Amino acid sequence: MAWPRVSPAQTRHRRGRGATESTGKPPGSKAPGWQVLLCPVGTWSKVLMAKTEAGASARLCRGLRRPQPVASERCGGARVTVPCRGDRCRFHQPLPLTASVTPCRPPWTFPALASRSRTLAGLSLFRDSALVLFAVSVTPQDCDGLIVRSATKVTAEVLEAAERLQVVGRAGTGVDNVDVEAATRKGVLVMNTPTGNSLSAAELTCGMILCLARQIPQAAASMKEGKWDRKKYMGMELNGKTLAVLGLGRIGREVATRMQAFGMKTIGYDPIITPDVSATFGVEQLPLEQIWPRCDFITVHTPLLPSTTGLLNDSTFAKCRRGVQVVNCARGGIVDEGALLRALQSGQCGGAALDVFTQEPPKDRDLVNHPNVISCPHLGASTREAQSRCGKEIAMQIVDMATGKGLTGVVNGQALSKAFSPHTKPWVTLARALGTLLCTVGKQVQGSLQVCTLGTALKEAGSYLTPAVAAGMLAGGTQKEVTLVNATLLAQEAGLKVTSTHSDVAPEPHSSTGLVQVSLQGTPHQVMGTVQGSTPALRQINGATFKQPAPLSGPLIVYRAKASDSSALATLTGLLSKAGVQLLSYHSSSTVAGEQWSVVGLSAPLPNLGELKPRVTEIFQLHLP
């Protein structure tokens, strides 16, 4: 996925009607490029960038809600001044993606815009890699990538409308606002930046615990009312108290280690992190039933899942110590808000600090208005450092994916991260090619498919080669887009069961490089291949071995004929001569039951194989990447 560059020398400027415009169009170039859509953030409304035929350019407008006579921003070294009439501004109108508009030149210096859009921190990373299109006021139909924050909902309808979409980047941790199942079905990668918000969310949680212990917000509000209520706001020390941390991922462990500095004893629970691992950062893991009666404070740091929805409810509050303090800076819904309010009213819960709510902003204010509740408007990630870090991380992740450097932060296909490294890419290509070849030879997609990796070099390869084989098997079917993301799911729906095994032993001379073997269970159809250099090659087909592995790329003709009959090759040579097609390679296998397989590499596909069919047992024509 190469992204085109447009140098300043290739950009022609002209002034008119108070704006600078550019064609952004290199002569003779028609590279399509990538387009990334940045969705709106906060009250900052419009920054429209439109793509030309061969590059990208942009039109800028502050887009203030109230009418403004003039909006001015600095674009690179030039100042662009445009008349702005709020929502009636001509720059607010959606433009065709072939429009020629104001270019956003390096170094992307827009202080006012950058302060309003938290994702803009990563713009320079895109610019450093290639000239890319960003937009916030156009629909995603023509977008290859989509970057969103938590407020933008990426629904199944949005994904269906975005025909070219390859990746959705969530500049933050949670992906509640993205329909991950619909994205997976469509073959769209979903990324997030799990580390970007961790420190900010952990620090806010620690601040909430301190505020609960000493009632700092309530005392501050009382002071602003002119009161001096020293006795009313009697607090407690944290030293010696027990903190229960539910969810011991990045944020949970940061909270635990920080609160240990206050002398708190930390206990916790996590279904994934082992007790041995949690012990390394000072957390004693216990079953939930043992946690409730032991803790003075509870803080939750889990994703919102069916299993965690209502994790703290009437039943669990009843098992806790009277006066327990609760903190939720993770996701609204983990704490049952109705149960929490009842526990506060009865005194079973002594106080709560909430940064998140089931409905945001909350319409029912009873919980927010309770005197023992401290609440914030979802500020967990609202620090300058976190916003800048998330913007840069998601930008870099998409740049790395598009340039083939790597794949990180994937939500719906973590095993595919290894498939994007330069070392594994040829093996992924091989696996897809073997799947396509086996589907063609076996003439079926349903059944049980066995993928076996041979050799120590491929010990961990099954996780990404298995979906690649499935994608190859389904490529010739009715599915529109089969990718490594949705191949396993679509294979199951097509009635294809795919399993994988591994053996450290591989036959010579492939013991150091490895082999991939794919079999259709219950049939004689089996193919085996390897990688030579960076080229995938066929080693065996239905028990017939190629002494010199046949390359699996480009237009190919694969046929089986009697070993004693050379007329098939002579006929093929004549057909190639008539069609003006070059023969690039020819490989024949060992003889099995008097027949042998041949793999012929061509410069272009043959239009008709009719003359060859009477001279062979079976014949196929493929076009592999």
Distance CA 127, CA 253 (A): 36
Half-sphere exposure of 571 (CA within 13 A, CB side): 15
Give me the sign of the Cα torsion angle 319, 322, 325, 331.
Answer: positive
Query: How is residue 40 annotated by DSSP?
Result: P
* 379 within 8 A of 354, measured Cβ to Cβ: no
Residue 423: active-site member: no
**Residue in 127, 170, 331, 560 annotated catalytic:** 331
74's CB contacts (< 8 A; 6+ apart) are 80, 109, 110
Query: Is the bond into 107 cis (omega within 30 degrees of 0)?
Result: yes
CA distance 377 to 365: 13
Check if 331 is active-site.
yes
Identify the three-state secondary structure at position 222: helix
**By three-state DSSP, how is residue 480 classified?**
coil
Tokens 């996701």, residue?
331
CA Rg value for the chain: 31
Please answer whether residues 349 and 340 qualify as being in contact, where contact means their C-beta atoms are separated by less than 8 angstroms. yes
Question: Do residues 536 and 580 lie in contact, with contact meaning Cβ atoms separated by under 8 Å?
Answer: no
Please pick, among 360, 385, 493, 611, the residue that the annotation labels catalytic.
360
What the block records as the tokens of 109 is: 């210096």
Is residue 440 within 8 Å of residue 620, measured between CB atoms?
yes
- Measure the CA–CA gap between 102 and 99, rounded to whole angstroms: 10
From edge to edge, which strands make up the β-sheet containing 526-532? 496-503, 447-454, 515-520, 526-532, 535-541, 544-551
Q: What DSSP line would sit under 423-461, residue for residue?
A: TTHHHHHHHHHHHHHHHHHHT---EEEEEEEESGGGTTT
> How many residues appear in the chain?
625
13 given a catalytic annotation: no
Give how far Cα 464 sits from Cα of 317, 364, 458, Å: 44, 47, 11
Measure the CA–CA gap between 514 and 303, rounded to whole angstroms: 39
Three-state secondary-structure class, residue 285: strand
**Bridge partners of 499?**
450
Query: Which of 252, 244, 341 shows the shortest CA–CA distance to 285?
Result: 244
CA distance 429 to 381: 40
Rounded to the nearest 10 degrees, what angle do helices 198-214 and 384-402 cross at?
A: 160
The span from the CA of 516 to the CA of 501, in Å, is: 10
Quote the tokens at residue 363: 């319409």
- CA neighbours closer than 13 Å in the CB half-sphere of residue 307: 6
How far apart CA 266 and CA 285 sit, in angstroms, is: 9
β-strand partners of 551: 537
Query: Residue 383 has which token pair?
Result: 């620090």
Catalytic residue of the set 170, 301, 378, 615: 378
CB atoms within 10 A of CB 507: 12
Show which residues are catalytic.
331, 360, 378
